[in-house]
Chain A
Amino acid sequence: MSPLKELLLKRIAFGALTLIVISVLIFVGVELLPGDLAQAVLGQSATPETVAAFRKELKLDLPPHVRYFAWLSDFVQGDFGNSLANGRPIAGLIGWRFANTIFLAATAAAIAVPLSILLGILAALYRNSLFDRIISIVTLSMISFPEFFIAYILIAFLSVKLGLFPSMASINDRMSLWDKLYMIILPCATLTMVVTAHMMRQTRASIINILGTSFIEMARLKGLKRLRVVVLHAFPNALSPVINVVAINLAYLVVGVVIVEVVFVYPGLGQLLVDSVSKRDIPVVQAAGLIFATTYVILNLLADILAILSNPRLRSPK
């Protein structure tokens, strides 16, 4: 087997292992919650018979490891169980909300990733200039504020004062794509501001790191233009750390939007998660947790694979 394939398979195996560990942690975490779930759901007044019947229905009478494997195998087959709050299948509850979350995250990513890489390259090109400092100050101040603060500032100015954009990002299926995009402008802007700094700083730092190497000196001594030296000679070699940071930020976009979704009342998975926690709807929380974890692991796995593929030493061995 080629070393590249071996490496990729190893990464994928590690990703799968991580997911299994996470599923155990989520399951055990829920198990460890104090009190009896059935009792908590049915309330103080429930008779012991109803509690017992409810426990049987939820299969709580079975030993934990049996329930864990039953839950996991159902989950893998796409059956997430039923919500405790309204008895509806969780898959139906989560499905469209997750799609909404991905829509918001993907839009933010489509703006933030190219923007931050472009800014990073420019900052590296004109490093220590006024332009570089301004970009650094602006992006760093934005990362220093909590996202809800940025969200409310944007609402206060752009929505309340100027009335440019809606403050509530309530989208639905009947809307056209453009309407949807218009509705999510503010949450999207908030997310972009939060993640740009990190990716931009990493791009700048790794390019500057590469600029000190002798192949960059060689490129300069060939009389190439500065932009070409940075974009074609430095950037490809700086890719690997940039890809990793981009992946972490993408994962953050999917997983960490909870607060932004709540602020803008956006019908996404984060909103559902917050609601379910307050309703003690444990199966929904479990399912949402595992979906978030899977997204995180898959994105990081992708980053690893892309980083490996961006390295010619690994892509085309001797």
Chain B
Amino acid sequence: MGHLLKMTNVVIEGLSGTEWTPIVKGVDLHLNRGEVLGLIGESGAGKSTLGLASMAYTRQGCRIASGSIVFDGMELTTAPRHVLRNIRGVRIAYVAQSAAAAFNPAHTLLKQCVEAPVQHGLMSYQEAAEKTVETYKRLLLPDPEQIGYRYPHQVSGGQLQRAMVAMAMACQPDIIIFDEPTTALDVTTQIEVLTAIKEITRQFRTAAIYITHDLAVVAQLADRIMVLRYGELVEEGETRQMLAHPKEEYTRALLSVRKQQKPSSPAALKEKPLLEVEGVRASYTKGVEVLHDVQVRVKPRTTVAVVGESGSGKSTLARVITGLLPPTKGRIVFDGQELSADLKSRSRDVLRRLQMIYQMPDTALNPRQKLRTVLGRPLEFYFGMQGKEKTDRIVELLEMVELPPEYIDRYPTELSGGEKQRVCIARALAAEPDLIICDEVTSALDQLVAEGVLKLLQRLQDKLGISYLFITHDLATVKAIADEIVVMCQGRVVEQGIKEEILTPPHHEYTELLLSSVPEMDPDWLDNLLARRARRRARKPSDQGPRKPMRQPAPAAASFNR
């Protein structure tokens, strides 16, 4: 008996304009029963395309041009539609990156989870429903009997992702394709999902292809790893082997990403603060407070990282500081001078000195404006620059962010993600600000690209003396760039101080949870962590684990408890 799945010299092409260009360029892949294979690489490496091809499925505008895909002795590339239909969802199942997008908003969870077994005539609705509830229990979903009757928008992201694992398990498939199932999640939620996946693949000896760009994540699950780049195989090997002795330069680069560190500069931290946020409270709808009494200080020429899970109020804080959302209470002092709460009544000079960079460079740049316009606008607006003076300055800005001057007449769509984010940085720099608020600026970027952007931001700070308020949920980023750290949880600051102090134990309970949840490049990390947490829970039976108190979803309830 050969491999469960064997792909040989698979070429997948995508239609760009009127031409077919290869996305996957002749890759061989094999998977044995019960084995977990990690597929890693940056975006555009062809991981998802290859993963989907294992069910002989291609997205709109793509085709399998050549090669063979053999599953359990069947050639899939030439198989008729009804044969493929009886494999998809039954013997090979798929778990998508965004559960929120992959669940149909019009139907309840249970209805979608039982659909495959019922439609393929494997089980009655009743049997399938019972089995699904079973799986919900195994995946530790809360209220497993009832949660299936909810609609996707009524459960949290992590729960939805686990429900999707349950949906994939419905027919007890031979293979599950996991396509970046934890990328959109917080570190704390990521652990829940990783645990669920590990549990289920072990218990049922399900083979899996785990697609991700995060080597540390895949290290927890995979027996074997394939590194892809530009649609080609870079390196393949046993997980431990590869982590210990990567052969290729590219793999080594991926491995070293998380190791970037900078010491905080104690001299700068003694100075008078540039920005002071004092006792700020804010809310979007009346009565529901999102920020409770938040204090943050940013010293000149330093970087303050604001960390916390999604929903902790980090981005709201940024909106309050920029004046987009006037606080209900508290004040914001900038360079010794109190800022008016509302953006509209701030002077042009204050606006200039406080700039912002967003998470999604795609949506932050007008696709119909050339970089000349994008970067020229702040120069005209703040400094009244025109003509040659303006053009010279734009070129200078492009050079500052390490982009070639020819880019001046390009449109944002002609740039890569990292380049676009550099344009956003240049746009903020054009105003010659004292403080830039960076809202998850590297979250949408690949790790190597993100690393480049972080290094650039650091160089600009050293050169121009800008301060950053750096909002992020990624602690590796924090280690790489911060002088001080502010830890936020449910709209409150739970801990604040110099980076080295915050990162050295003893930590605040919540900081500990965040720190311990960041995956490490150690294949045993997840098992050890879970064992440690289980031991702690056993020691303190009254305590339901560190996660419980953080999981109250309604900030309103929290504020009433005070």
Residues of A within 8 A of B (CB): 212-215, 217-225, 228, 232-233, 236-237, 312-313, 316, 318
A218-B96, A223-B86, A223-B90 known; A316-B106 Cβ under 8 A: no
Cβ-defined contact, B116 with A236, below 8 A: no
Q: Which A residues are CB-close (under 8 A) to B106?
A: 233, 236-237, 312
Q: What is the total of A-B residue contacts with beta carbons within 8 Å?
A: 76
Residues of B113-161 contacting chain A, CB below 8 A: 115-116, 119-120, 151, 153-154
Q: Which B residues are CB-close (under 8 A) to A222?
A: 88-89, 93, 115-116, 119, 167
Cβ-defined contact, A223 with B116, below 8 A: yes
- Encoded as 1 (CB less than 8 Å from any A CB) or 0, chain B from 40 to 62 comes to 00000000000010010101100
B1, CB-defined interface residue at 8 Å: no
Cβ-defined contact, A221 with B89, below 8 A: yes
Cβ-defined contact, B57 with A220, below 8 A: yes
Number of chain B interface residues as a range: 20 to 34
Q: Which B residues are CB-close (under 8 A) to A215?
A: 101-105
Which of B94, B102, B106, B107 has its CB near the most chain A CB atoms (within 10 A)? B106
Cβ-defined contact, A213 with B101, below 8 A: yes
- Encoded as 1 (CB less than 8 Å from any A CB) or 0, chain B from 292 to 321 comes to 000000000000000000000000000000
Q: Which A residues are CB-close (under 8 A) to B102?
A: 214-215, 217-218
Cβ-defined contact, B153 with A312, below 8 A: yes
Q: Which A residues are CB-close (under 8 A) to B116?
A: 222-224
For A235, the closest partner residue in chain B by CB is B106
Which of A218, A228, A232, A233 is B94 in contact with, Cβ under 8 Å? Answer: A218
Residues of B within 8 A of A (CB): 52, 55, 57, 59-60, 84-90, 93-94, 96, 98, 101-107, 115-116, 119-120, 151, 153-154, 167
Return the 10 tightest CB-CB contacts between A and B, nearest first.
A222-B89, A223-B88, A223-B89, A236-B106, A223-B85, A214-B101, A221-B94, A215-B104, A222-B116, A218-B102
A217-B59, A221-B55, A223-B120 known; A312-B85 Cβ under 8 A: no
Cβ-defined contact, B85 with A225, below 8 A: yes
For A312, the closest partner residue in chain B by CB is B151
Cβ-defined contact, B94 with A316, below 8 A: no
CB distance from B72 to the nearest CB of A (A): 15
For A238, the closest partner residue in chain B by CB is B106
18 other A-B residue contacts (CB within 8 Å) besides A218-B96, A221-B89, A223-B86: A213-B101, A215-B104, A217-B96, A217-B102, A218-B102, A218-B103, A221-B52, A221-B55, A222-B89, A222-B116, A223-B116, A223-B119, A224-B85, A228-B119, A236-B106, A237-B104, A312-B106, A318-B153
Q: Which A residues are CB-close (under 8 A) to B115?
A: 219, 222, 224
CA distance A15 to B143 in the complex (A): 42
Q: Which A residues are CB-close (under 8 A) to B105?
A: 215, 237, 312-313
CA distance A232 to B101 in the complex (A): 17
Cβ-defined contact, A313 with B89, below 8 A: no
CA distance A214 to B106 in the complex (A): 14
Interface pairs (14), CB distance under 8 Å: A214-B96, A214-B98, A218-B94, A222-B88, A222-B93, A222-B167, A223-B119, A224-B85, A224-B115, A225-B119, A228-B119, A236-B106, A313-B151, A313-B153
Q: Which B residues are CB-close (under 8 A) to A313?
A: 105, 151, 153
CB distance from B213 to the nearest CB of A (A): 18
Q: Which B residues are CB-close (under 8 A) to A220?
A: 57, 88
Which of B57, B84, B104 is A219 in contact with, Cβ under 8 Å? Answer: B104
CB distance from B122 to the nearest CB of A (A): 11
Cβ-defined contact, A316 with B154, below 8 A: yes
CA distance A221 to B87 in the complex (A): 9
Cβ-defined contact, A223 with B98, below 8 A: no
Q: Which A residues are CB-close (under 8 A) to B87?
A: 223
Q: Which A residues are CB-close (under 8 A) to B86?
A: 223
Q: Which A residues are CB-close (under 8 A) to B93?
A: 221-222
Q: Which A residues are CB-close (under 8 A) to B52?
A: 221
For A313, the closest partner residue in chain B by CB is B153
Which of B57, B98, B104, B154 is A233 in contact with, Cβ under 8 Å? Answer: B104
CA distance A224 to B120 in the complex (A): 8
CB distance from B81 to the nearest CB of A (A): 9
Q: Which A residues are CB-close (under 8 A) to B103?
A: 215, 218
Q: Which A residues are CB-close (under 8 A) to B153?
A: 312-313, 318
Q: Which B residues are CB-close (under 8 A) to A214?
A: 96, 98, 101-102
Q: Which B residues are CB-close (under 8 A) to A224?
A: 85, 89, 115-116, 119
